[in-house]
């Protein structure tokens, strides 16, 4: 299990975006996800060790910028992340992120990381973790509705780790589906790839349905009348106030699981439902305190909005992989001072050219 070391003042490890891409390519997406699922399950099982809060969000017409903090007795971690659905028209990703881990005893940061690629990894790994405990074990067909930037990671995770053998793909932008198919074929994914003409067609016959749309709107990407007995749904795209993907009828029929209840009620599909609508936090299933799937006929829903614990987990995991494969750099972020009370000595040294 990866961990954060006790580093001296000034020693800040850094995982850049290019280094993260090289690291994931070297280790392999599926193997990165395999290890990350284990780290996530370990961290979710010690849920009570963490100081938790809903993320801090600044919403504007173009999108949202958020800070996602979490801490335990040893570490404080946060992620900065945006969500701007219109960015692709400008040639900029919809989601961009970075994060850091600091020591609680001194406040000194010890690791800074890109989290754009890593967020895609942790979102897919969290979906896999939830489905491992909530979907039918014999699930072999998955529908992917929304074939944008996170879809490859979800597809590779479910094929490589949960035994999915057929992927039914739909996006209202056919170019997105063509991109996904090309990337999966390049990765030699061991699954049948079926391009569908509608979301309803994609869902038909699926054991697992994952929704990954980006538009900041109250949508009904998935309709209640499309549900089939035993289906598991990963609702991933709804992640801020005013943004949903599911028909409310689905929540009324399904057994609903969430990451952190107070945050999901603000941002997830739970926006459809009254404040007393009953849900189960995923950590309770992982620790045996609550049941997951009770019957093959159950419809289960993981209303996933992303939570800071997952970002802490992925940073721990990627730092350990970076160390093992030589992918980390040193970031000159914290001063080294002969006299820790003399911060001005940095200016004097710069003036002297030393």
Active site residue 239: yes
Beta strands 51-52 and 63-71 are: antiparallel
**Long-range contacts (CB closer than 8 Å, 24 or more residues apart) made by 71-75:** 71/104, 72/46, 72/104, 73/49, 73/104, 74/4, 74/103, 74/104, 74/105, 75/4, 75/101, 75/102, 75/103, 75/104, 75/312
Pick the closest to residue 69 from 311, 338, 254, 337 (CA basis): 311
Measure the CA–CA gap between 100 and 24, rounded to whole angstroms. 19
Q: Which two tokens stand for residue 322?
A: 């970076």
Catalytic-labelled residue, pool 207, 239, 298, 311: 239
Measure the CA–CA gap between 2 and 8, rounded to whole angstroms. 19
Ranges of H-type helices in 28-78? 29-45
Measure the CA–CA gap between 178 and 180, rounded to whole angstroms. 5
Write the DSSP assignment of 255-321 as a string of letters: EEEES-HHHHHHHSGGGGS-TT---EEHHHHHTTSS-S--STT--EEEE----HHHHHHHHHHHHHH
Catalytically active residues, by annotation = 239
């Amino acid at each position: 299990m990866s961990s954060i070391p006790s580093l001296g003042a000034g020693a800040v490890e850094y995982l850049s975006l290019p280094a993260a891409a090289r690291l994931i390519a070297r280790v392999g997406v599926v193997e990165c996800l395999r290890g990350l699922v284990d780290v996530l399950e370990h961290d979710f099982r010690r849920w009570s060790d963490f100081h938790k809060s809903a993320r801090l969000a600044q919403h504007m017409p173009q999108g949202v910028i958020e800070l996602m903090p979490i801490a335990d007795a040893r570490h404080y971690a946060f992620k900065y992340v945006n969500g701007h659905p219109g960015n692709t028209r400008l040639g900029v990703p919809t989601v961009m992120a970075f994060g850091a881990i600091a020591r609680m005893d001194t406040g000194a940061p010890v690791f800074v990381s890109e989290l754009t690629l890593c967020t895609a990894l942790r979102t897919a790994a969290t979906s896999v973790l939830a489905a491992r405990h909530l979907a039918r074990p014999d699930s072999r067909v998955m529908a992917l509705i929304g074939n944008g930037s996170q879809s490859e990671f979800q597809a590779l995770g479910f094929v490589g780790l949960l035994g999915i053998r057929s992927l039914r793909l739909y996006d209202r932008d056919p170019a997105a589906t063509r991109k996904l198919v090309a990337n999966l074929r390049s990765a030699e994914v061991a699954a049948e790839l079926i391009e569908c003409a509608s979301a309803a067609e994609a869902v038909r016959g699926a054991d697992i349905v994952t929704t990954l749309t980006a538009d900041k709107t109250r949508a009904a990407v998935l309709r209640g009348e499309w549900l089939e007995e035993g289906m598991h749904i990963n609702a991933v795209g709804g992640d801020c106030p005013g943004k949903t993907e599911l028909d409310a009828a689905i929540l009324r029929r399904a057994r609903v699981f969430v990451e952190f209840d107070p945050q999901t009620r603000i941002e997830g599909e739970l926006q459809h439902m009254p404040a007393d609508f009953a849900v189960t936090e995923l950590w309770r299933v992982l620790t045996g305190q609550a049941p997951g799937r009770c019957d093959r006929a159950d419809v289960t829903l993981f209303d996933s909005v992303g939570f800071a614990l997952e970002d802490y987990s992925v940073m721990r995991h990627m730092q350990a992989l970076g160390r093992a494969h030589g992918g980390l750099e040193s970031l000159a972020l914290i001063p080294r001072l002969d006299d820790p009370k003399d911060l001005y000595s940095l200016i004097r040294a710069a003036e002297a050219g030393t």
